[in-house]
Structure 1
Amino acid sequence: MKIGLRTIKTAISATISIIIASSLGLLYPTSAGIISVLSVTNTKKTSLKTGMYRLFSLALATLIAFICFSIIGFNAVAFGIYLLLFIPLAVRFRLSDGIVVSSVLVTHYLVEKDLSWQIIGNEFLLMIIGVGLALLMNLYMPDGEKRLKEDQEIIEAMFRKILNNMAAYLNQHSKERHLFERCTELRSFIRRGENWAKDYRENQLFGSADYYLDYFNMRRMQNNILQDMLRILEKIVVEPEQVENIQKLLQHTAETFAENNDGQEILDEIIDVYEDYRKKNLPQTREEFENRAQVFQLLQLFQAFIEIKADFAKAQQEKEAH
């Protein structure tokens, strides 16, 4: 049986919550523990948001309960009417996460047949202790940045291998299908990285932490372009010298493919390749024309592939400048 970190934090926060509520002489101290159990989430930001929303939810619930119990009395009918009013209002104000917890605390008003400031303070203290301990436990999170950097290295190594193989198999047709499989595998790694990046961002309480999410989104778009390039690569049948420049481009990109490469050098080389193709003799047959068009389309897609990284690098520079 494996006990995860979240389970450990939940058990500790619930235990301490009950101890604190009991030591303060609060009524229903175990409720603080239950609130803590329900408030330990996967990230720091979600725990903070959950805590704040539940406090707002309790304030709304207490107001509605005060009206219902004052008019109808402390009975089941009043509690039912309270639910009829509270649930849609909580949903309307996006406080639905606190419906169950707040309603449980409202039952304490019903059981005690009391809505004095003392009992109201008791319920708010239970909520504050429960969500506060949950947030305190969630302040400790494993260092997710190391895992993100490891995923970056794996993904970049996979890109380099695919680009090298594309250069080697350009104008050949017997060994290309496995490259589609590698692109599919690469997509799964990128998707995993995006999920880690979302969790990492949610665990940063202060400042912006969008870099890794932007990075994996950029690589996902590049992987989509790679797949389009492979579909064209399957169809190209020309003389080797017709694709020699593109092969060199792919090889050079594979050699220099890295997080800190802004792609500008490759874009300059692509312009040179365009110029070189313009100087070549025009196709003489329909077949030559169609093949040359395929080569030109492949080059356009490759340019889009590099421009995605160049735009990403430019956007990051602008963010750092501000």
Structure 2
Amino acid sequence: MKIGYRTIKTAIGTPVAISIAQLFGVTNFVTAGILTILCIQPSRKKSFLSAWHRFFACVLAILFSFIFFETLGYNTLAVGLMLLAFIPTAVFFKITPGIATSSVITLNLYSAASMSVGFILDQFLLIIVGIGTALLLNLYMPSLDKDLKEKQDKLEINFKIILNEIAIYIRNKNVSWDGKEITETEEVLEVAEDLVERDRENHLLRNKHPYRDYFKMRTRQFELLQRMLPLVSKLPNKDSISEKIAVFFDDLSESVQPENTAELFLDELEQLRKDFNQEELPDTREEFETRANLYRLLTEIEDYLLIKKKYKKSDIKGRTGNKNIKN
């Protein structure tokens, strides 16, 4: 079982926060540990937002507690009414993540049955220690570049296999492929999207992410590959155009590498269209439907290539593009 960084930070931060609170001699020092647990987040951005929500909510809770407890007394009815007023207010200010944290402070005040200046200062110290410890720990976030590169490499392999299997099927209607790469690709894209978002939130001053466009491009291309599969299954067993399309998919499979360019394949696709238009007109309904499916397939392939062209600059004649984005 793998232990994540968030678990390690929680295990370190909780006792540290409690120890610091004890050193300051504040009451309810375990509250500092609870605040640290609640503030440990998977990214720097979420950590800062979490800290702000919880600090604001705690300050608001202290104010509401003072009003309700000092007015109605330290009893359970006052606690209920206080929460009835506080929670909608927290929702209004969009600090709902801080409700649980502030409830701990509220219960501390309730159990103390006192709202002295000294005790309120104790609570503020607990808030600062607990939230501050979590923020310091969350300044360190492990790099996700290795994980993102692994997802990229896996996608490249799967795309090659899918394109190659399409070519094989067009030639001999081979149905032995189990299609596991389709499911794997869906999972990889989903995980990669989450990793990119987390990595973006760990770099608060970086506007663009080097892998974001790549995975966005692959997601759109994968959608087109899924739409191609039913069309491929309807192609005839023996047909000159079908064989040329099979060769095209073979070449496309081998081209899932940086040095290949979409422009070259778009030119080849244009030639395929010309060959397609030179074919004799269909005589039967079945031949007409086959021809229509071939035309739709060529359109899907063109869209597949145009997506790549949109996200990556041409590599032809010295023009360079994003190194992370491949054909």
Task: Give the TM-score normalised by structure 2.
Answer: 0.85
CA distance in 1, matches of 2:16, 2:126: 12
CA–CA distance in structure 1, aligned partners of residues 261 and 195 of structure 2: 24
How far apart are 1:94 and its partner, in Å?
2.6
8 Å CA contact 1:197–1:212 kept in 2: the answer is yes
2:244 maps to 1:245: yes
Partner of 1:11: 11
Structure 2: gaps of 5 or more residues: 314-320, 323-327
Q: Deviations over 1:118-156 (max 9, x none)?
A: 433322221121122112222223321111111101111
Deviation of the 1:113 alpha carbon: 4.0
User: What's the TM-score once normalised by structure 1's chain length?
Assistant: 0.86
Deviation at 1:275, TM superposition (A): 2.7
2:274 matched to 1:279?
no
Deviations 1:84-137 (A, max 9, x none): 111222233332222222122123333444435443332222112112211222
1:171–1:233 CA contact under 8 A, matched in 2: no
2:311 aligns with 312
- The whole-number CA distance in structure 1 between the counterparts of 2:82 and 2:107 is 11
- Give the 3-state SS of the residue equivalent to 1:178 in structure 2: coil
* Structure 1 partner of 2:293: 294
Q: Cα–Cα, structure 1 residues 262 and 210, in superposed 2: closer, same or farther, change >3 Å? A: farther
- Corresponding residue of 2:158: 158
Residue 269 (structure 1) aligns with: 268
Deviation larger for 239-248 or 150-159 = 239-248
Q: Alpha-carbon deviation of 1:311? A: 2.8
Long gaps (5+) in structure 1: 318-322
Preserved CA contact (<8 Å) 1:56 1:95: yes
Per-residue CA deviations over 1:227-275 (Å, capped at 9, x if unaligned) read 2212111111164422343233322222222468663332233223223
**Distance change (3 Å), C-alpha of 1:176 and 1:199:** farther
Q: CA RMSD in A?
A: 2.6
Matches within 5 A, 1:1-322: 3-173=3-173, 175-176=174-175, 178=177, 180-208=179-207, 210-237=209-236, 239-258=238-257, 263-313=262-312
The answer to whether the 8 A contact 2:44-2:138 is kept is: yes
Distance 1:260 1:242 in 2: 27
C-alpha spacing 1:260/1:28, structure 2 compared with 1 (3 Å): farther
Using the alignment, how far apart are the partners of 2:117 and 2:259 within structure 1?
A: 60
Query: Which position in structure 2 is the counterpart of 1:320?
Result: none
Residues 1:187 and 1:266: Cα distance change in structure 2 (over 3 Å): same
SS at match of 1:170: helix
Query: Which amino acid is 1:162 matched to?
Result: I
Question: How many equivalent residue pairs?
Answer: 315
Identity of aligned residues (%): 37
Measure, in 2, the Cα distance between the counterparts of 1:186 and 1:19.
47
Q: Measure, in 2, the Cα distance between the counterparts of 1:171 and 1:16.
A: 66
| Distance across 1 between alignment mates of 2:79 and 2:89 | 15
More helix by share: 1
CA-CA distance at 1:179 after TM superposition? 5.9
